[in-house]
Structures are given as structure tokens and as C-alpha cells.
Structure 1
Amino acid sequence: MHSKSDVTLAVDAQQGSHRRMEVFLTGGTGSIGSAVLKRLLDENARIVGLARSDASAEKLRALGANAYPGDLRSPESWVSRAAACDAVVHSGATFSADMGRVDRQSMLALKKAAQHRQQPLKVIYTGGVWLFPQTTSRNVITEKTPFSPLPAFRYMTETIRTLSHGTDMNLAVVHPALVCSRNFGPIAEMTDALKKGQPFKTRATRDTLWPLVEVNDLADFYARVLQQSRFRMSLIASCIAGISVGHLASHISARHGAPLEIDTTQAPEETDPETDWSAGYALSQKVDVSHARRTTGWQPEHSTIEDLVVTLSK
């Protein structure tokens, strides 16, 4: 387990003493955001979570955060509160047809609200490996690789460029690999298919390479990024640089003593590329894992595929 001595989320007060860092979190009840929330609380941070509904507010409070009412679609209701915190972690998304517009509108409103601060606002923006191009067997994606996003995520690259300009914010962009837990992500989905005696349907082929990251390791990475004094950076968070889907399936098959077939599917003809959020599974990508670890001191607990499969395959 991670110890609290690994990361200390505190800020210097005027007299040189330390106080708890206050972090505003969007998407705190989501798959990534809830893990980040728990990790930051473990590091004694104070969390203010954006709550779109009473049910979301109850979930946030149950996890130990303070709930602040608001909606990504109406940023004027919450950006002032967010800008008053020490940092903002943006992991929320609507996954609706207007997701890009909503995201850009909310981040521009936050940038405007941050103009009134004495010090630049620390912001962690969640990107993703699907903002980068497909790789070949000879190259690896690094943080310096030019963006080539899928249409559904093109808005992210535009928002990142906008937020990077000016002095209102200290922006760090975290690009998670394919996130895995016991309940969601490729390993959970493949395991579920195997247990049902069904093939695993995916946009990938057996030769497609997937970079992977375990969700709690990813949450630890966010905590370590918040700790950094140098904050203007872009970092790829991946435990596994790239494993073929066929190789991953063979590990899961060996774990459960039954074969898992891969069924490569295509998107329906009527699928709109602008809302095709599953297209990234067809991308074959291998990423550099060294820069993020070197920059933050991150040492993910699940750094081998054997460990990932044993831990996450129920």
C-alpha cells in the first residue's frame, strides 16, 4: 500500500507553516475521479467535489469530500469556488454529443475566474493516450509526440492549447493509458466475457498494442503531480507500455484455465466519428513510461502484466 510519507499535499501558509491543500475535483464520483478523491484524502488534502445532483453530493460526502453544487454545463455556478482552491483536478466529462463544447466552455470560465488570484491556479487536466497517433513497431509515444487525436477527442487538444497560454494557470496535463480496475476497463471486460463463455468483442485485433494503467496507481500519480513545484508539464501515466491484445488474452486465459477468443468488430456504419468514444481501442500504441516516473518519483505497484491480471481478474 502507499504510505502517507510518499506524498505530502500541503501548501505554505504566509508564516511559513503548512496547511492542508484544498483541491476542487470534477468527476469525483466517476471511475477515475473517485479513485483520485480517495488517494488525495489519504494524503490529508481537503476535497471539494462538484456535485450535479443530490445523489452525487451524497456519494461525495460518503467518500469524505465536501460537495459543492454545480454542473459542467453551467460553469458560472462553480468556477469562482474552484478558483479559490489551491488546485483543481478536472476528471469530469459528460460523454454527450456536446461534450467538447461543455468541456471547453467550463475550462475557459475557470481560466477567467483564475485571473483574480494572487498566484497562478494549479490545474490538472485529464487528457488521454488517444490524443496521440498510432505507433509502429519502431517508435514509441512520448510527451513530445505531436497530437493526432481521434475526432471524438479533438476538443481536448484545443482546450489544452488554450489553457497553456497566459499566466493565470499552472497547467499539468495527465494522459492516462487505458485505465483498468476490477470493475471496469479491458481486463475486467475480458474476464467477464471469459466467465460467460463468450468471445471478447473489441475494435482491436490480437496484434493491437494497448498501454495500461491500474486505477489506484493512476490516482497515486495524480497526487504526485499535485506535489510538484514545477507544474507546467504534460505526462503520460502508464504502468504497462504496450501489450498486444492477444498476449493479454492469453494471460487472462491462463489465470482462469479457459480459452478467451478475440472477436474484432467494426463500428456500425451510422456511427458518428465525433461521438465514437470506443474508436481508440483500435489504436495500436506503445508509450514511454520513463519520463512520468522520473519527473514525479512515481513507482506504480502494478508494473507487470502478470501482477495486473492476478490483481484485477476476479
Structure 2
Amino acid sequence: MSLNYQASGRRQAEVVETRWILHSSNHLVLARPSRTLFSFFMDVFVTGGTGTIGSAVVRKLVLDGARVIGLARSDASSKALRAAGASAYPGDLASPESWVGRAASCDAIVHTGATFGPEMGRIDRQSMLALKKAARHRKQPLKVIYTGGIWLFPPSGPHEMLTEKTHFAPLPAFRFMAETIRTLSNGTDLNLTVIHPALVCGPETGPIAAMTAALRAGEPFRTRASPDTVWPLVETQDLADLYLLALRQARFRQTFIGSGISGISAGHLASHISARHGLALEIVTEPTPAGAAPANDWEAGYARSQRVDTGHARRATGWQPEHSTVEDLVVALSK
């Protein structure tokens, strides 16, 4: 017979200890504890929990034993969150006063939400400032995982690799993120970790899915990139694993580039997909749309050629992405 227990009454991420109850003739004796698998005992608030990254993070957290509360703007979002095993908290990123109090009462918040509209920057900054204010009077700093992005970093040269120490040179549409990260980093109210995902690839999202869809439709793949543009890539579930590992880290102010593949040119990626399906895929480079405002033109990021060093996140957290080669990604996602 065994008894599982937590070392403290507060829900938190910790190693579960199993203690066997030994039977003596007249009494029970607790044996010495043995350390077993790492499990989550946390309340985690998630924004963007029905999006590409957020939904994968929610499912992983639930499977690991966390109590997940997802911000839900609609009935459809609430239904999706509940189906994933999370609870839904009604609110809107654009109205942070409706949810930051609840978020600040949790052990951690994972921020993956974004509106991708004209007010995206203002809404993100406003919501994070409100969260920081709400967390001001906590006994322990609020653990915050903030989602940045690879397009906060500059293009890299042919023999260069970007690292977490590379200075920001953000795409204009994401300049607000650099400002928000600086704001969140100030003070001791928040235990901040920033994750910068590479181009995220899933069965229905990202460049591999888009290239495959174009191939099957008998159309060229249209993109702002040229065939020589280099993209770092990460598979959705692998990225979600990194978020969970980051939640387990106790250190303050950590930054991780989340990339399973350091970089591959768009043309080379297209050739892999062509070979898998036995069909030719043409890449057509599209110009910047007429009248496009740089502050709202986030798709310009696809033209940014970048190669990254993937080592820091692996060394610091033990992250081991399953899809670490282009072949792995294409076989898994190009159906």
C-alpha cells in the first residue's frame, strides 16, 4: 500500500514522493520516501489557450497534473478549453481588468495570446502592465512565461547563428514585444521566463503545412521569402514541452530560443516536401503589399533569414525535441 503526498500545502511544481506503509503487528510505519516521477501541482493561468502554441501547452499541462485555467473570450473557446481538461475563465486580452486578478492568484501564468490585429501591441502591453500591477502584493513572485518570437532578433549572416544573447532588432510589427519584455524584467514581482519560438510547425499550421497544401492543390507556394531565405523551425508539441520545462525552472529572468531545427532554406524545405510526395513544388516570392504599414505587416517576418543556436534551451532545461531534423518534421507533418 502506498501514500502519495505533497511536502507543502501549497500547490506547486515538485517531485511527488511515494512512501510505502509497512505493516507491523500492532501499528503502521511510514517507510523512508523514494523519489518518483516529476509531476505538476500548480494552478496555471493560460492566455491564448486555444491557439496553436497555447492549446498544445494546455494539453501537456493537464496531462502532467496541473490545474489549468484558460482565458476564454467566447463560448467556443470555453468549450475547447474544457474539452482539453482545463477550466475556462471568461475575459478578453483587451480588457485585462476582467482577468488579471484571477491570473495573479495562480502559481504561474503562460502568456501565448495575441490578437494579430492593428491594436495587437497596445493590447499586449496594456495586459502585461495590468498583470504586473496585480501581482505586486504577492508573497512569492508570480511565475510568468512570456511568448516572444524569433522575429525579435535580426537577420543572421550566412556564417552566423543567433543566440539568446543577440541584441534585439525586431520586425516593426513586433517591436512592442521587446518593450514589454523590458518592462516585465524590471523589479522582483515577477519571475519571468521568455520563450522565443522559431517558426512553429503543426499538422495544419506553419510553413510545412502551407507548402503541403499548395502542393496538393497543384499551386505554387506563395511567400514573402525567397528560396534562399533560411527559417528556424520547431514542432508544436516539442515547443510545448519546452514551456513545461521552463515552468519547472526556479531561476529568475531566463530566456530560451525554442527551435528544434537551427535553420533550413525555404527552397531546401520545399525540395524535401516535393520528394516525399513525388511532385514538384514551386516557390513564388511575393512583394510587400501596396500600402502595407510596417507596424502591422507581421508577415514580413517570413523574408527574414535566420539561423539559430539551439543549444541553450537544451542545456538549461534538459529539453529534447523529438523532431530535430528536417526529415523528422516532414515525415510527421507533411501528410
Distance 1:268 1:117, change over 3 A: same
Distance 2:244 2:15 in 1: 21
Equivalent residue number for residue 13 of structure 1: 9
Classify the secondary structure of the residue corresponding to 1:171.
strand
Distance 1:14 1:72, change over 3 A: closer
1:305 lines up with 2:301 in the alignment: no
1:43 lines up with 2:64 in the alignment: yes
1:278 lines up with 2:286 in the alignment: no
Deviation of the 1:231 alpha carbon: 3.6
Q: Which residue type is aligned with residue 149 of structure 1?
A: P
Equivalent residue number for residue 78 of structure 1: 99
5+ residue gaps, structure 2, are 1-5, 17-39
Which one scores higher on RCO, CA 8 angstroms, separation ≥ 6? 1
Equivalent residue number for residue 159 of structure 2: 138
- Per-residue Cα deviation, 1:180-214 (whole angstroms, up to 9, x for no partner): 01111000000110111111001111111000000
Q: Percent identity?
A: 66
Equivalent residue number for residue 240 of structure 2: 219
Classify the secondary structure of the residue corresponding to 2:295.
helix
- Superposition pairs for residues 42-191 of structure 1, below 5 Å? 42-191=63-212
Deviation of the 1:17 alpha carbon: 9.0
Structure 2 length as normaliser, TM-score?
0.89
Higher helix share: 1
User: Larger radius of gyration, structure 1 or 2?
Assistant: 2
Q: Which residue type is aligned with residue 155 of structure 1?
A: F
Q: Which residue type is aligned with residue 248 of structure 2?
A: Q
- Per-residue Cα deviation, 1:157-176 (whole angstroms, up to 9, x for no partner): 00000000000000000000
Structure 1 length as normaliser, TM-score?
0.95
Classify the secondary structure of the residue corresponding to 2:146.
strand
Deviation of the 1:248 alpha carbon: 0.5
Distance 1:235 1:71 in 2: 27
Equivalent residue number for residue 272 of structure 2: 251
Distance 2:122 2:175 in 1: 11
Deviation of the 1:310 alpha carbon: 0.4
1:239 to 260, 284, 293: 260
Distance 2:7 2:72 in 1: 25
Distance 1:14 1:26 in 2: 23
Distance 1:177 1:11 in 2: 37
1:196 lines up with 2:224 in the alignment: no
Cα contact 1:11–1:20 (8 A) shared by 2: no
Instruction: Name the stretch that deviates more: 281-290 or 17-26.
Output: 17-26
- Per-residue Cα deviation, 1:102-158 (whole angstroms, up to 9, x for no partner): 000000000000011000000000000000000001211000000000110000000
Distance 1:115 1:252, change over 3 A: same
1:296 lines up with 2:317 in the alignment: yes
Distance 1:207 1:54 in 2: 43
Distance 1:227 1:261, change over 3 A: same
Distance 1:103 1:11, change over 3 A: farther
5+ residue gaps, structure 1, are 1-9
Distance 1:266 1:39 in 2: 39
Deviation of the 1:11 alpha carbon: 8.6
Distance 1:183 1:262, change over 3 A: same
Classify the secondary structure of the residue corresponding to 2:272.
helix
Classify the secondary structure of the residue corresponding to 2:256.
strand
- Per-residue Cα deviation, 1:18-60 (whole angstroms, up to 9, x for no partner): 6711100000011110011001111111100001112211111
Q: Across the two proteins, how many residue pairs are aligned to each other?
A: 305
Deviation of the 1:13 alpha carbon: 3.5
Equivalent residue number for residue 4 of structure 1: none
- Per-residue Cα deviation, 1:215-242 (whole angstroms, up to 9, x for no partner): 0000011000001121421110000000
Distance 1:53 1:190 in 2: 31
